[in-house]
Amino acid sequence: AQKVTQAQTEISVVEKEDVTLDCVYETRDTTYYLFWYKQPPSGELVFLIRRNSFDEQNEISGRYSWNFQKSTSSFNFTITASQVVDSAVYFCALSEAYNTDKLIFGTGTRLQVFP
């Protein structure tokens, strides 16, 4: 069975600190996709990134970076120089190759960035 674990329920940091959100997944598939979504207080989930299981290159987008390691089944998300606007719940998700839109979400990590 597929499963996504986000062990960190809540993280609090002060602005400008770096923060890493952990994600560990389980799947028996050899082809799969990993995602991160952001859910701000307004409630609307926002897509951040998709990664397929064959692409282990780390990715950087502005202050955001992602570290995918198949050996440890992890897909961690780092925010550099955090800002108050980064405060949100962040979800890691997994999907099978046959239906990339059918996402299995973790329980989320609530990030609070204080000024």
* Binding site residues, another protein, CB under 8 A: 4, 33, 35, 42-47, 50, 91, 93, 95, 99-108
CB of residue 106 to another protein, shortest distance in Å = 5
Using an 8 Å Cβ cutoff, are 53 and 30 in contact?
Answer: yes
Q: Would you say 82 or 109 has its CB closer to another protein?
A: 109
Please identify, using beta-carbon distances, which residue of 48 and 80 lies nearer to another protein: 48
Whole-number minimum distance, CB 53 to another protein, in Å?
A: 12
Buried/exposed 40-79: b ≥16 CB within 10 Å, e otherwise: eeeeeeeebbebebeeeeeeeeeebbbbbeeeebbbbbbb
The answer to whether 51 and 76 have CB atoms below 8 angstroms apart is no
In the bound state with another protein, the residue whose beta carbon lies nearer, of 43 and 62, is: 43
